[in-house]
Structure 1
Amino acid sequence: MNKKNGILVLALGLMLTACSTVPITGRSQLMLVQDAEILSSSALQYKQFLSGAKLSKNTQTTAQVRRVGQNVANATMLYLRQNGLSDMASQMKWEFNVVEDKAINAFCMPGGKIVVYTGLLKLVSSDAELATVISHEVSHAVARHSNERISQEYVRQMGGSLVGAAVSNKSALLQTVVGQAYGIGSQVLVTLPYNRKQEYEADKIGLIFMAMAGYNPNAALTFWQKMSAQSGGGQQADFFSTHPSDANRVAAIRQYLPEAMKYYKGK
C-alpha cells in the first residue's frame, strides 16, 4: 500500500469510527467532537449570554414558556430513556428563559439551554404553536446538530492535517478548533447556523416530540405559515437567518404530520 492510499485508509477509518446516528430519523452524521467539550463551552456561553440579555419581566409569558418547555422536555427525556439513550438524557440540563427583544428568534444550545425572544412570542397564539418552536429547538440539541457542525468545521480547518490529528493528538487539535472558531465570547454556539438538512430534520423530530408532549402537531402548519407571512410582510425575522421558512418547509411538514399524529393522544 502506497503512502497516498494509506492516508485514505486512515481517513476512512476515522470517519467510520466518528459516525453517530440521529435519534428518530436514523441519519448517520460525522461526530468528531466529544460531548463534554461542547457542553462545557455551551454552558459558559449561555451564562455569558444571559448576563448581557434583558430577561422578560412578564411573569405570564415566562411561565407559559417554562411550562410548555418542561412538558416537551419531559416527553423528550422519556423517549431517550425508552430508546437506550439514557446517557444523552443525563446530559440534558433543561433551562427556559424569555428575553425581552423585538427580534423574532429562539434558540436551544447544546445541553438543553433554551431562549425564546418576546418578538417571536407575539406570533404565538397557543401552547401548541409555542410547542412547535420549543420542540424544534429541542430537536437540534437531541440531534446534536451543533456537534455535527463543529465537526464539519474541524474537518474544514484541519484539511490535510486531519489524519495526523487522528493518529497523534486529535483531542488537543480539536480543542483548538473549538476554542478558536467557537470560543467563549464569540457566542457562535448561540448563532450557529444549521444547514437545510438539519432544519428539516429538526422539524420532523420536533413534530414527534410535541405530539408525545400532548400538543397537536397540526399547530406547526399555522405557526410556520404565520412566520412565512411575516417574512413576506417586510419585517425580516432573525429566526430566518438559521430557520428558513418557505413553501417547501410547509410542504415537508405536511408530509411528516401523518407519522407525528401516531404519537398524539390529545389532552
Structure 2
Amino acid sequence: MTTRRFLCLSLGALALCGCRGTATPVPVVAGDTIAHARAEIGDAPPPLRRQLAEGEVTATLRRISRRLEPPAWELCRDLGVGACDWYVAASRSRQLNASAGLDGRVAINRGILEYARSDDEVAFVMAHELAHHAANHVESARDDTSAGAAVGGLLAAVAVAAAAASGARTGAAENRRMIENAAGTGARIGRLAFSQAQEREADRLGLLVLHRAGYDPALARHFVVTMARASRRGEGQRLFETHPSGPERLAAFDATLAELRARGGTLPLRAG
C-alpha cells in the first residue's frame, strides 16, 4: 500500500469516527414518519424570497433576540455544560444559513429573513444557534479541530516512517509537506461544524427555548419545510452539509413538539 493511499484510508476512518455526543436525549424517528415527512416536503411549493426594507433585518433580530435570550440563558444554566455568553449579529449573506462561533457570536444570514414568513420562523433558527452554545457544541468542535490536526499529522508521520523502512526514497521537504497537508486535512475533518446528533439536539433544545419565549412552534415548523425545499434547489446546501436530512429533521421536529405538548411545555434534560 502506498503512503498516500494509507493516509487517505486513515483520514477517511477519522471522518467516519467524528461522531460527537450530546448533553441531552435526542429524538429517535422511525422510517414511516420520515417517509411521511419526505412526502410533505415533496408536495410543498417552492420557497419564496421576499424583499426586505432597509434596517428590517437588524430590527427583527434585535426584537427576537431580546425575547429569546432569557429562556436561553435559563436553559444554559440548567444544562451546566456550555458558555452562557453570546451575542447575535446579522450577516449580509443571502444564503439560507446561520452559525454559532467560538467568540460567542450567533450569525443570522439575511437570507434567513428573506425566506421566513414570521418572527416565529426566524426565532427557531436563532434558538437553534443559541442551543449550540448552551450545549457546548462550539467548544467541542474546536477540540475536535485540534484533535483532528494532531491525528492527521501523526498518521502522516507513521506513514512516512513506514515508507522509509520499506526502502522508499522521498526527500525531507516532500515528507514535511505530506505531514503538514495531513494535519490540515485532519483539522478540516475535525471542524466539520457539529455532528448530526448535536444538530438534532440543537433543534430539540431550540424548540424548548422557542416555547418558553412564547413563540408558536407550530408556525416555526413551516421553516423546517422551507429549508428542506431550499436544500433541494441548492440554495440551502451549506446549511445541510452536517444537518440531518430534511425529512429526518422534520420528523424529529414533530416528535419533539408532540413530547413538548404532552409534558406541558417541558422536556427532560437528562437521560432516564
- In 1: Cα distance, 2:195 partner to 2:76 partner: 24
Deviates more, 1:107-116 or 1:252-261: 107-116
- The equivalent residue for 1:203 is 203
Q: For residue 140 of structure 1, report the CA deviation from its aligned partner.
A: 0.9
Q: Secondary structure at the match of 1:253?
A: helix
- After superposition, the Cα gap between the structure-2 partners of 1:104 and 1:84, relative to the gap in structure 1 and judged at 3 Å, is closer
Gaps of 5+ in 2: 1-20, 27-51, 155-182, 267-272
Q: Does the CA contact (< 8 Å) of 1:217 and 1:260 recur in 2? A: no
Identity %: 27
Q: Does the CA contact (< 8 Å) of 1:111 and 1:141 recur in 2? A: no
- The equivalent residue for 2:248 is 248
Question: 1:105-120 to 2 correspondence within 5 Å?
Answer: 105-110=97-102, 112-120=104-112
Query: Is 1:100 aligned to residue 102 of structure 2?
Result: no
Q: Which has the larger radius of gyration?
A: 2
Query: Is 1:145 aligned to residue 145 of structure 2?
Result: no
Q: Secondary structure at the match of 1:107?
A: strand
- In 2: Cα distance, 1:233 partner to 1:161 partner: 38
- After superposition, the Cα gap between the structure-2 partners of 1:224 and 1:126, relative to the gap in structure 1 and judged at 3 Å, is same
- In 1: Cα distance, 2:104 partner to 2:141 partner: 17
Gaps of 5+ in 1: 1-19, 27-55, 163-179
For 2:232, the aligned partner's letter is: G
Q: Over residues 5-35 of structure 1, what are the superposed CA-to-partner deviations in whole Å (9 max), with x where a residue is unaligned?
A: xxxxxxxxxxxxxxx972x439xxxxxxxxx
**Residue 66 (structure 1) aligned to one of 62, 67, 91:** 62
TM-score normalised per structure 2: 0.59
Q: For residue 158 of structure 1, report the CA deviation from its aligned partner.
A: 3.8
- In 2: Cα distance, 1:79 partner to 1:116 partner: 21
Deviates more, 1:153-162 or 1:254-263: 153-162
Q: Secondary structure at the match of 1:93?
A: coil
- After superposition, the Cα gap between the structure-2 partners of 1:57 and 1:256, relative to the gap in structure 1 and judged at 3 Å, is same
Tell me the matched-pair count: 190
Q: Does the CA contact (< 8 Å) of 1:93 and 1:111 recur in 2? A: no
Q: Secondary structure at the match of 2:265?
A: coil
- In 1: Cα distance, 2:152 partner to 2:113 partner: 46
- In 1: Cα distance, 2:64 partner to 2:141 partner: 28
Q: Secondary structure at the match of 2:25?
A: coil
Query: Is 1:229 aligned to residue 226 of structure 2?
Result: no
- After superposition, the Cα gap between the structure-2 partners of 1:21 and 1:58, relative to the gap in structure 1 and judged at 3 Å, is same
For 2:93, the aligned partner's letter is: D
Q: Over residues 92-149 of structure 1, what are the superposed CA-to-partner deviations in whole Å (9 max), with x where a residue is unaligned?
A: 3332222222211111224641111111211111111111100111111111112222
Q: For residue 192 of structure 1, report the CA deviation from its aligned partner.
A: 4.9
- The equivalent residue for 2:212 is 212
TM-score normalised per structure 1: 0.60
**Residue 72 (structure 2) aligned to one of 60, 76, 83:** 76
With CA pairs under 8 Å and 6+ residues apart, which has the higher RCO, 1 or 2? 2
- The equivalent residue for 1:263 is 265
- In 1: Cα distance, 2:252 partner to 2:152 partner: 38
Q: Does the CA contact (< 8 Å) of 2:90 and 2:109 recur in 1? A: yes
